[in-house]
Amino acid sequence: MATFNELGISENLMKSISKMGFEEATPIQAQTIPLALGGSDVIGQAQTGTGKTAAFGIPLIENVDIKNDNIQGIVIAPTRELAIQVAEELNKIGQFNRVRILPIYGGQDISRQIRSLKKYPHIIVGTPGRVIDHINRKTLKLQNVKTVVLDEADEMLNMGFIEDIEAILKGVPDERQTLLFSATMPGPIQRIAERFMKDPKVVKVKTKEMTVPNIQQYYLEVQEKNKFDVLTRLLDIQSPELAIIFGRTKRRVDELSEALTLRGYAAEGIHGDLTQAKRISVLRKFKEGSIEVLVATDVAARGLDISGVTHVYNFDIPQDPESYVHRIGRTGRAGKNGMAMTFVTPREIGQLKNVENTTKRKMDKMKPPTLDEALEGQQKITMEKIVSTIEANNLSYYTRIAEELLDEHDSVSVVAAAIKLMTKEPDATPIKLTEEAPVRVKRDNRDNNRSGGRDRGRYKGGREGGRDRGRGNGGRQGSGGNRPSSSSSNRRGNFRKNES
């Protein structure tokens, strides 16, 4: 494994990389950075979580001339969350270079973006729709761009952004460097590379590296109607520190997050119909640990860089295997172990095999836990808390009343009562979720017109994650459906009709 010192990086960038705690470069970084620093166009085939932001971010910042006030680099990302994350990481990488970085995306006040664009940013990180909007308004000029980065190109294809990407690439100088990153290389992405890239060097992270070996992967065969009870029992037994539950549709996420709240779990949902302020609020609470469960759609969670996620629950098996790899990549990061559980209805076993064939990894079968096992799991957690308190040896204020209790009751009854009081017993509050149609194996998993809920809409309609053009109204999202208020997840009221 190469160190960053060996990659020809300047002193200022080495200083920021060291401050970020990086020493060894990941495979995608070790191979991409020297090529990009040398001026080559690069195609990087890698998943989220492999360190690709630094792979393109380091050479991108290295090549900026801070004395030149023009926009010199542009990164195009599929969703507003990813655009924000990338901009944050680029700011960390360039903290000692004084490089000015500006994220622009739908859902944010366009007037504020225009004011920020007048402050001479060196690098723009944007979603395709909002970038096109600024180009059309002549508030974004790209004639001095030296480097273009297309991040998660296959996802932008899936979301219908291919025409926008082509329009942006036509608007930047021919004499430029293009860096393209994509988990897969479907035909339309290959054609983009052929048309707009010059002799690109291909860097490919092997599948075995993409599936992350330190994640335990399980599947549970469960009837649709029993999924929720099985999920809550798993939560009770496993007691995850931070967990993400993936649902296939926005409706599913709303219903799940409300149902979990009714059962006493600290849960909130995130999807494309939420306001940007609400999304940021939910993610902040999740990162801080004030909510233990985040319920998300694929697109809303794509690109989220959240450390400390211990468990991923695929409440619905994803539409395509690539999404599965993205989902489970939320855990098992930075060398830590993670656990991923996928719920499969009997009619979805074919899709399970499809996922296993793509990832080249068989999932272990897990038996759905019983109610008694869930109670035992909660009792075990209580027992561990009691033992930890005893070991802390800070009980002097409580010994007298303990002795009084033991004068009147036997010790086993006293301890049993304490365990009962402290144990969160499984909640049987009735829950009714709208059933989702099972996923069927398709001949071509990269079909652009998949239905059933990657939460991405259609090309002309409401695409999640930054498609909105925000014509002077602060960025109205184009979903066309009712947008929930920014109130907490347990007040969402009536569940909306599925809009996927």
pLDDT greater than 70 at residue 491: no
Q: Read off the pLDDT of each residue in 459-484 and give the average, rounded to a whole number.
A: 37
Strands (E), 92-214: 101-104, 123-126, 147-150, 177-182, 201-204
pLDDT greater than 70 at residue 82: yes
% of the chain with per-residue pLDDT over 70: 82
pLDDT greater than 80 at residue 164: yes
C-alpha–C-alpha distance, residues 254 and 271, integer Å: 9
Is the pLDDT higher at 184 or at 368?
A: 368
Look at 84-88, 205-209, 425-429, 463-467 and tell me which has the smallest mean pLDDT: 463-467
Is the pLDDT higher at 484 or at 346?
A: 346
CA angle (24 as vertex; 21, 28 as ends), nearest 5: 115
Q: State pTM to two decimals.
A: 0.55
Look at 77-86, 206-215, 325-334, 477-486 and tell me which has the smallest mean pLDDT: 477-486
| Mean pLDDT over the full length of the chain | 81
What pLDDT score was predicted for residue 258? Answer: 94
Is the pLDDT higher at 451 or at 264?
A: 264
pLDDT greater than 70 at residue 111: yes
What the block records as the tokens of 201 is 């060097």
What pLDDT score was predicted for residue 464? Answer: 39
CATH 3.40.50.720 fits 4-209, yes or no: no
Residue 439's nearest CA partner among 232, 252, 208, 301 is 252
pLDDT greater than 80 at residue 493: no
Q: Read off the pLDDT of each residue in 73-90 and give the average, rounded to a whole number.
A: 92
Which range in 124-133, 421-430, 490-499 is most confidently predicted, on average pLDDT? 124-133
Look at 114-118, 157-161, 274-278 and tell me which has the smallest mean pLDDT: 274-278
Strands (E), 19-153: 42-45, 73-76, 101-104, 123-126, 147-150
pLDDT greater than 70 at residue 459: no
Q: Read off the pLDDT of each residue in 15-23 and give the average, rounded to a whole number.
A: 82
CATH hierarchy code of domain 211-369+429-491: 3.40.50.300
What pLDDT score was predicted for residue 431? Answer: 82
Cβ-contact 400, 254 below 8 angstroms: no
Cβ-contact 470, 133 below 8 angstroms: yes
Do the domains spanning 4-209 and 211-369+429-491 agree at the CATH topology level?
yes
pLDDT greater than 80 at residue 333: no
C-alpha–C-alpha distance, residues 383 and 385, integer Å: 5
What pLDDT score was predicted for residue 441? Answer: 59
What pLDDT score was predicted for residue 276? Answer: 75
What pLDDT score was predicted for residue 426? Answer: 67
What pLDDT score was predicted for residue 435? Answer: 85
pLDDT greater than 90 at residue 69: yes
Amino acid at 397: Y
- Taking the domains of the chain in order of start, what are their residue ranges? 4-209, 211-369+429-491
What pLDDT score was predicted for residue 55? Answer: 93
For residue 148, list its beta bridge partners: 74, 178
Is the pLDDT higher at 311 or at 48?
A: 311
3-class secondary structure, 232: helix
What pLDDT score was predicted for residue 473? Answer: 38
What pLDDT score was predicted for residue 33? Answer: 94
For residue 30, the surrounding DSSP H or E stretch is helix 27-37
Residue 438's nearest CA partner among 316, 274, 336 is 316
Residue 46's nearest CA partner among 70, 30, 62, 23 is 30
